[in-house]
Each structure stands twice: as C-alpha cells, then as structure tokens.
Copies of this chain bind each other. A is one copy, B any other.
C-alpha cells in the first residue's frame, strides 16, 4: 500500500484525536476530554495550561487540571506539526496549539484501550507569549539603524549605558544569584525576552565556576547533550569538553548573548519587603557594598553548589591538608603524598585517578554503595537515541530530543531505564566482576534503573567511568570501607578502627539541597517554607516520598512567591531556562499566572 492510502496527515489516529480533543475543549466538555485519556496516562504540562511544571495522571487527573485551567487557558488550534508515526502499537505525534496568551508545542502518544485510541502520554509546553515573541530569525534585530537620527546611540554606547545604570540607578526586575551555566542560560533567555535581569556571581570571570575545579575535569556528559540556548557548540567541539574550554565558552557566551553580568559580586543578605513587593538584596561588588531591589529573586547557585563539609572529630587536630572536593586544586602538588579521599562518587573517582596518575599514594574510602557506568556504554545505550551524531542524522535535533525526554513521565521513567542498564551490565560484565572482586560496593539503584534516575532522584550516588574505576578494580587506588570515626594528627580512622595515614584528606562528600542557599542568604524560615529542592519523591534512597511528580522546587513556583530555583546540568539549564524565563516574562508583563497545584513542602532539606 502506498503511504498516501495509509496515513494522510489529516486522518491518522493522532490527527483525529487532536481534532476531537479540541472539540471537547472548545465545548468545555471536560468529561469528554478526560475520557480520551487511557488508564494509566500522563499529561505533563510545562507552563502552557498550569503556569507550573506539573504532571497529572489518568482521566481523573486530566479532569482536575481542566477544571482548574480550561476557561482561562482557552486552548485551540491543535494541529499536527509533522506526520504522525505508529510503531509497536503506539502512535506518536508532534503538535502545535495556542492558548489565550501564547503558542505551544507538544508530543502525544496514543495507545489502544478497549478498541479506542487514547492518550497514553501527552506533553504540552508553552513556547512563546503572544505579542512577546523573541527577536530571532525573521524577527531578528536590524542592528544598523538605517536612516538619519541626530540622537543615535551606537550599540557600544547602549551597552555602556546599560552597564552604568542597571543595578545602580535602574533596578533589575529579576536578580539571578549565581552565574554558572544555569544563571547564564536564564540570563540569555531573559535578555531575549526583554526582561531586565542581572546575573551576579562571586567569581572573577564567567566560566570560573568550571575553571576553578580540579584540573583533569572534563564534562561527563557528551556535547550533544550540553548545548546552551541559541548558540550550539560547533561540530568540531570535543565530545567531552575540558573544563577550561567550557569555561571559556561560558564567558564568551555571556558576552555574545549580552547577558548583564556582575562578576566578583557576592550577595550577603536578602529580605522580602512587603511594602514595595520587592526583595532587598545586599551585595558586595568588587569590595563595594550595594543594595539591589529586584522583584524576582532566582537562586542559580547550582544543585552542586553548596558543599556538604563533614564535621568529623579530629578535623581540627589533623595537621595535613584537608579540603572539600570542590576546593581540590588538582594533583600536581601531591606526587609521593598519601591521600585519603572520603567518598566514592564522580568527584572522588576523578580526583583519585588524577592523583594516582601523578604518583600519589591514594586510598578511597567508600561509605555506601555507588553505581558506576562506563562512559562509552552510557553514551551509546543511554543517550545515543536522543543525543548523538546518530540522533542528529535521524532528524532528532537537540530541541526535539529535549522534548522527547521531557515527554517521558517521571512516574514510569524507571521502567524505560531498567532495560538499558541491563544491557550495560551485560556489555561490561567483566568490568563489574573485576570491580566487585576488588571489594567495591556496586549498585544499580534501588530498582535497577541506573544513573539517570539516581541523578533525578537524589543527584548523587554514581560515577560515569572515564577510566579511574579500573584503578580501583586493579588495586592501584586502595579501597577502604565504612564511616569515618575521627581524624588524628596524621591519619583518618574508620569506624572499624582502620587507620589510614594521610598527608591530604579530600572530602568528596557531595552537596546539600539548594534551599540551604536560601537559608544562608535570606533566612532559615524562608528556606523551610521553600523546603527541599531536587528529587521526585520516589521513596528510594535519599529521595523520600510522597510522590511529587516533578523535581521539587526547580524552575517553577515555590511556596515563597517571587523566589525561584534554577539549576541542573547543561541539558536542564538549556531546556528549563525557557520555561522559567516565560514564567518570569509573564509576571513582568502583568499577564495573570494562576498556578495550578502549587507544590507542597514535605521535607526541609
């Protein structure tokens, strides 16, 4: 049969579903609309209906979402964005739609339920606000101001004027505290959307967040996963960018995207002023004290921003050097030294590997089990369908990959992940046998769902192996187990009495919840109102329930109005910066943004 007879664009099941769905929505017939969803089913909305990041489940959840949002959202114009495809009984379709205030894009998956094609997953996302479209492509700025104008200001003069006024005589609408990849990506989005925003960061230059880390560090995620908004890495960019190279790129990007950015600036205190409806933020900029009054305060200090520094007895009597992994300068000074690294996740492995390479005598202290995957296996099996040259060749652009990924419901994501990690276990069987033979405590996550779920649930507990695991497997890096009891003048003593002589102790002990930053900057009370950031409430290790459905407090409204959290890896910084920027833009323009199902606080840290 020819394609023409099989699936014309307007008459496939997805096209029909969208037409019927729109008809039900137009008629405000919520039971009819909800009846078009299967059980189970998952509708994930990024801002377009909910002014929130939220997932509802099953017809009941759809009913609740629509009852609360349908009238004001006034959705319409549902139309296939490209031909639908059916594979293994699932029809997948990209679609566009409109709301009262914006334009959206979505991804629908249909399955048969009792002889009817029903929605199994649906992703709806807001892409732009009407009347506030970004100046890109056909709308790009002209640059030169043609014609004659006796009050002409050049681009350089305008930039200089902004630098001399923003944050000084003009207040930013949004203050972004933290200028790593998250703050920069959000700053670039807000610049594009015309929202006056200022990024502040304590380092001397944008990119120093990466430059300052241990010298052998390269990104553990591959280039296809790491693009920033608007400007992709060129096709000669390394798969795993060295930290200094990514640092330089971030610095350049900040300038090219004209992100207002104050380096060498620390926010010291902040408080919300009910009278003015703005935050009062005290900052020190290159030694000078200034007060800012932003309406919106965004903590972009990083989900890996606030070090967990342990408090072991004897840390004060230890006479060697000791520091958190985030402060580790690299291995050069430690040839021939005895180093004890507390921890067995990403940073611990990278630091152990580099130290061993430089001739240090290295012991890793494993306190709990760790999940390890080989970088190549993760790339090929875990990411390759979405983020790779192969994916690009198959038409899966970065933007498409982001939405495909976003369309997989968190509730069932682990089910899709488990088989991938089973493949990796099989592929690298010898490696895991050797690793466990060396006494390493290895796990695949509570439910065997592997690395990405660990990242989303707890943001810790894994290592993407780029070589150092071999050193543990073969005994070059020594392995010890258990909790630290205390430190002596020259050793780390474990709970079982093992004494590990040390010239240097590295605490690769991870990072705390981002609301800790709010405690430091604002108050413990406000931090507690916000609650724990990150995690899904999966009820697995370090991610206590109840089920939240989305990452706690990230990129969406929190219990503290006008306070937001931006963070995550480069992928998340790229993807979610759009949705946070649109939420801020709507507020800046006075567009009503009633939040559907504002998250509750179940944990404080």
Point out residues on A near B: beta carbons under 8 Å.
134-138, 140-144, 146-150, 152, 154-157, 159, 192, 215-216, 218-219, 223, 230-231, 234-242, 244-245, 248-249, 252, 255-257, 353-354, 356-359, 375-376, 389, 466-468, 470-471, 476
Copies in the complex: 2
Instruction: Find out whether the CB atom of B238 lies under 8 angstroms from the CB atom of A140.
Output: yes
26 chain-A/chain-B pairs, Cβ below 8 angstroms:
A136-B236, A137-B235, A137-B389, A138-B389, A140-B236, A140-B237, A140-B239, A141-B238, A141-B239, A142-B238, A143-B218, A143-B237, A143-B242, A144-B238, A146-B467, A147-B467, A148-B357, A148-B468, A148-B470, A148-B476, A150-B357, A150-B359, A156-B215, A234-B257, A252-B252, A252-B255
A-B contacts besides A143-B218, A143-B242, A234-B257, 8 pairs, CB < 8 Å: A140-B235, A143-B219, A144-B466, A148-B468, A152-B216, A154-B216, A231-B234, A252-B256
A182 CB, nearest partner CB in chain B, Å: 19
A234 CB, nearest partner CB in chain B, Å: 4
A271 CB, nearest partner CB in chain B, Å: 36
Q: Which residues of B contact A353 (CB under 8 A)?
A: 148
Instruction: Find out whether the CB atom of A356 lies under 8 angstroms from the CB atom of B245.
Output: no
**Which of A141, A155, A255, A470 has the most B CB atoms < 10 Å from its CB?**
A155
Please, how many angstroms separate the alpha-carbon atoms of A136 and B235 in the complex?
Answer: 5
Chain A to chain B: the 5 pairs with minimum beta-carbon distance, closest first: A143-B238, A155-B242, A144-B218, A144-B240, A252-B252
A491 CB, nearest partner CB in chain B, Å: 26
A248-B256, A255-B248, A470-B148 known; A240-B156 Cβ under 8 A? no
Q: Which residues of B contact A142 (CB under 8 A)?
A: 238-240
| Chain A residues touching B, majority SS | loop
> Which chain B residue lies CB-closest to A228?
B234
Q: Which residues of B contact A219 (CB under 8 A)?
A: 143-144
**Pick the contact of A146 from B135, B143, B375 — CB < 8 Å?**
B375
Instruction: Find out whether the CB atom of A234 lies under 8 angstroms from the CB atom of B256.
Output: yes
Please, how many angstroms separate the alpha-carbon atoms of A358 and B353 in the complex?
Answer: 63
Instruction: Find out whether the CB atom of B357 lies under 8 angstroms from the CB atom of A156.
Output: no
> Which chain B residue lies CB-closest to A374?
B146
A327 CB, nearest partner CB in chain B, Å: 18
Q: Which residues of B contact A241 (CB under 8 A)?
A: 143
**Which of A215, A235, A249, A255 has the most B CB atoms < 10 Å from its CB?**
A235
Please, how many angstroms separate the alpha-carbon atoms of A144 and B238 in the complex?
Answer: 8
> Which chain B residue lies CB-closest to A350?
B144
Instruction: Find out whether the CB atom of B242 lies under 8 angstroms from the CB atom of A154.
Output: yes
A375 CB, nearest partner CB in chain B, Å: 6
Q: Which residues of B contact A235 (CB under 8 A)?
A: 136-137, 140, 230
Please, how many angstroms separate the alpha-carbon atoms of A197 and B119 in the complex?
Answer: 59
Q: Which residues of B contact A466 (CB under 8 A)?
A: 144, 146-147
A483 CB, nearest partner CB in chain B, Å: 29
Q: Which residues of B contact A476 (CB under 8 A)?
A: 148
> Which chain B residue lies CB-closest to A477?
B148
Q: Which residues of B contact A135 (CB under 8 A)?
A: 236
Q: Which residues of B contact A150 (CB under 8 A)?
A: 357-359
Q: Which residues of B contact A236 (CB under 8 A)?
A: 134-136, 140-141, 192, 230
Instruction: Find out whether the CB atom of B242 lies under 8 angstroms from the CB atom of A234.
Output: no
A302 CB, nearest partner CB in chain B, Å: 21
Q: Which residues of B contact A357 (CB under 8 A)?
A: 148-150, 152
Instruction: Find out whether the CB atom of A148 lies under 8 angstroms from the CB atom of B471.
Output: yes
Instruction: Find out whether the CB atom of A155 lies under 8 angstroms from the CB atom of B244.
Output: yes
A162 CB, nearest partner CB in chain B, Å: 14
A136-B235, A249-B256, A389-B137 known; A156-B242 Cβ under 8 A? yes
**Which of A137, A146, A249 has the most B CB atoms < 10 Å from its CB?**
A146
**Which of A234, A242, A252, A257 has the most B CB atoms < 10 Å from its CB?**
A234
> Which chain B residue lies CB-closest to A238?
B143
Please, how many angstroms separate the alpha-carbon atoms of A256 and B256 in the complex?
Answer: 13
Q: Which residues of B contact A149 (CB under 8 A)?
A: 357
Please, how many angstroms separate the alpha-carbon atoms of A356 and B245 in the complex?
Answer: 45
Instruction: Find out whether the CB atom of A148 lies under 8 angstroms from the CB atom of B238.
Output: no
**Which of A237, A249, A470 has the most B CB atoms < 10 Å from its CB?**
A237
> Which chain B residue lies CB-closest to A138?
B389
Please, how many angstroms separate the alpha-carbon atoms of A145 and B557 in the complex?
Answer: 41
A142-B238, A236-B230, A256-B252 known; A154-B389 Cβ under 8 A? no
A498 CB, nearest partner CB in chain B, Å: 26
Please, how many angstroms separate the alpha-carbon atoms of A219 and B135 in the complex?
Answer: 19
Q: Which residues of B contact A146 (CB under 8 A)?
A: 375-376, 466-467
> Which chain B residue lies CB-closest to A474?
B148
**Pick the contact of A245 from B155, B248, B389, B471 — CB < 8 Å?**
B155
A474 CB, nearest partner CB in chain B, Å: 9
A279 CB, nearest partner CB in chain B, Å: 29
Instruction: Find out whether the CB atom of B242 lies under 8 angstroms from the CB atom of A144.
Output: yes
Please, how many angstroms separate the alpha-carbon atoms of A470 and B148 in the complex?
Answer: 8
A574 CB, nearest partner CB in chain B, Å: 13
Q: Which residues of B contact A156 (CB under 8 A)?
A: 215, 242, 244
Please, how many angstroms separate the alpha-carbon atoms of A356 and B147 in the complex?
Answer: 12
A403 CB, nearest partner CB in chain B, Å: 18
Instruction: Find out whether the CB atom of B245 lies under 8 angstroms from the CB atom of A144.
Output: no
Please, how many angstroms separate the alpha-carbon atoms of A231 and B234 in the complex?
Answer: 5
A584 CB, nearest partner CB in chain B, Å: 18
Please, how many angstroms separate the alpha-carbon atoms of A215 and B160 in the complex?
Answer: 13
Instruction: Find out whether the CB atom of B154 lies under 8 angstroms from the CB atom of A215.
Output: yes
Please, how many angstroms separate the alpha-carbon atoms of A359 and B152 in the complex?
Answer: 12
